[in-house]
Structure 1
Amino acid sequence: MRSSAYERASVWDVVSPAGPSRLAGVGMAGFRDGGAASAGQRVIPHPSVMLAVDFGSGSPVVADAAGRRQRGSVAAGPGMGFGGSVWVRGENIECLQVRLSPLITRTVLGVSPADLDGVVALDDVWGREAARIRERLSEASSWEERFALTEALLERRCGAQALVDPEVAWAWRRIVGSRGIVRVEGLASEVGWSRKRLWFRFRSQVGLPPKRAAQLVRFDRAVHRLVAGEGTAQVAAEGGYADQFHLHRDVMAFAGVTPSVVAREPWLAVDDVAWPDHTR
């Protein structure tokens, strides 16, 4: 059951807003470290763009397999942590995390998901506004006030102009709506584009090529079923995988660990608490 999974991750204090965001494609959650991050936490890839705004007495350090490190507030494109390559460490961490649909990322951040190469400092994306929101979050007296401040900032940054092709948006929603179980080869003909054009436009606007996006969405659904206690045979059969070996191979590729290990990851265990809307 999900409750037993959450107990394994109770070292994190997790808070979610009272209701869904007014902005489509936005999800928020608050995290306070209770000792988990000091030992290091693996980042599991997710099909969204992630922002983490820290405001506590300690600063998280995000490190990848190449030895690159970012301290403090960061932004990252969809699929961050592929292969189990990204870890977060630190003590006394308090942060507000935002998940953005790739379809609205450029309007909110001013850059495309494809421009978020690995993990980048939020200051490099938002400039002085990153420092201002950190200060205001630290001065806020409650999580609800922090969520309201962040949503107001996101609303101000959202432009009226759509910055994603309708065909790309349709293909992304088709992938998400099918939980990654879709014939990617047929998407181009469904939108009336050539496969080459769809691949190029989708990759430049979403940050991943269509096939990888479908694999990531399917993986995300599968690992959340695993952490909820479902067996690998059932998850594989109902999740669009040819067999258990296919599921094992994809989990190893995305998370860097076996299905049984990934099912015990603390951050996955709290996702239903932190992200009840699962907005993409």
Structure 2
Amino acid sequence: MRSAGNEREAVARWCVARPPRPSRIAGVSMAGFRDRGAGPVDVRVVPHPAVTLALEFGAGPLVVDAETGRQRRGNLVTGFMHGAVRVRGENVECVQVRLSPVIAHEVLGTSPAELDHVVVTLDDLWGRDAARIREQLGDARSWQDRFALTNALLARRREAGRPVDPQVAWAWRQIAVSRGQARVDELAAEIGWSRKRLWSRFRAQIGLPPKRAAKLVRFDHAAHRLAAGGNAARIAAESGYVDQSHLHRDVLAFTGVTPTTVAGEPWLAVDDIAWHGHDID
């Protein structure tokens, strides 16, 4: 059973808005967040197998303390984060976008490989588009208007972008559908590529080597089950881990904390409210 205390804390901290229907762009999910003003926000980020955009328009800046030690604020984009990453702020309002790595290259204009372990400002990537969307989001009267504005921007940028190889997109989706349990050598054989070629193309276009991507997808699934109150030994067995110690090591590697600590993270409680029903693709 999911921790009721974690959910109550999440609801007390955040007003969360969701679009009435999925984005018309495959691989895009959005949610709106408004800090309820119960004091400064300071939460640990739990890694997720998507590239994340934070389009902020509130009175207080959104600040990310990255694992590299650098601090970023404002409209931000993060690659596949893991380790000691924290989000801070006060009076925060933002639209958060999760991009499947399959379309991230098209939308961002850069490979997710360039964003691994880093947080960059959208001003650096998008220039005037970043400033324009912040102003538009601040002037919008409703969350639905904000989602529509964000969708329009992402669609326009995607049209000007370059898609990943179909074989790479297929391999990513097999990893996602299998919850990280697909075997890389079998994926390579299925598309008629060598393992080395798949590794190279996948790493360049998705942002992670396929084996690392599979580990992240598997971890994401396990972390949400832990947050839902599941038994760690059963989760390990059913998620493709050798044993519970293997799960423990992976959680520690991705987050820097133990599975017990991850299970109580407010980030995952908010995550379930904002993104429930959104599959990785």
Range class of TM-score, shorter chain: over 0.9
TM-score w.r.t. the length of structure 2 is: 0.94
* CA-CA distance at 1:112 after TM superposition: 1.2
Q: Is 1:92 equivalent to 2:91 in the alignment? A: yes
Contact map agreement 1:37 1:89 (CA 8 A) in 2: no
* CA-CA distance at 1:16 after TM superposition: 0.9
For residues 37 and 234 of structure 1, do their structure 2 counterparts lie closer, same or farther at Cα, with a shift above 3 Å needed?
Answer: farther
Q: CA–CA distance in 2 between the matches of 1:142 and 1:65?
A: 34
Q: Paired residue for 1:32?
A: 34
Q: Paired residue for 1:186?
A: 186
Q: How many residues matched?
A: 277
* CA-CA distance at 1:2 after TM superposition: 3.8
Contact map agreement 1:37 1:88 (CA 8 A) in 2: no
Contact map agreement 1:15 1:273 (CA 8 A) in 2: no
Q: Paired residue for 1:242?
A: 242
For residues 272 and 39 of structure 1, do their structure 2 counterparts lie closer, same or farther at Cα, with a shift above 3 Å needed?
Answer: closer
Q: Paired residue for 1:111?
A: 110
Q: Which moved more, 1:233-242 or 1:213-222?
A: 233-242
Where 2:67 maps in the other structure, the secondary structure is coil
For residues 204 and 137 of structure 1, do their structure 2 counterparts lie closer, same or farther at Cα, with a shift above 3 Å needed?
Answer: same
Q: Deviations over 1:152-210 (max 9, x none)?
A: 11111122776211111111011001000121232212211111111110000000000
Q: Paired residue for 2:212?
A: 212
For residues 191 and 155 of structure 1, do their structure 2 counterparts lie closer, same or farther at Cα, with a shift above 3 Å needed?
Answer: same
Q: CA–CA distance in 2 between the matches of 1:127 and 1:216?
A: 31
Q: CA–CA distance in 1 between the matches of 2:107 and 2:88?
A: 27
* CA-CA distance at 1:246 after TM superposition: 0.6
* CA-CA distance at 1:38 after TM superposition: 2.3
Q: Deviations over 1:91-140 (max 9, x none)?
A: 11111100001111121111111122410011111111101000010111
What pairs up with 1:39-54 in 2 under 5 angstroms? 40-54=42-56
Contact map agreement 2:51 2:100 (CA 8 A) in 1: yes
Q: CA–CA distance in 2 between the matches of 1:200 and 1:42?
A: 32
Contact map agreement 2:105 2:162 (CA 8 A) in 1: no
Contact map agreement 2:176 2:280 (CA 8 A) in 1: no
Q: CA–CA distance in 2 between the matches of 1:279 and 1:218?
A: 11
TM-score w.r.t. the length of structure 1 is: 0.94
Q: Deviations over 1:200-253 (max 9, x none)?
A: 100000000000000000000000011111110111111111111011110001
Identity of aligned residues (%): 63
| Aligned CA-pair RMSD | 1.6
For residues 161 and 62 of structure 1, do their structure 2 counterparts lie closer, same or farther at Cα, with a shift above 3 Å needed?
Answer: closer
Q: Paired residue for 2:7?
A: 6
What pairs up with 1:122-141 in 2 under 5 angstroms? 122-141=122-141
Q: Paired residue for 2:258?
A: 258
Q: Is 1:20 equivalent to 2:15 in the alignment? A: no
Q: Partner amino acid for 1:128?
A: R
Q: Paired residue for 2:175?
A: 175
Q: CA–CA distance in 2 between the matches of 1:36 and 1:114?
A: 37
* CA-CA distance at 1:3 after TM superposition: 6.9
- 5+ residue gaps, structure 1: none
Q: CA–CA distance in 1 between the matches of 2:255 and 2:105?
A: 27
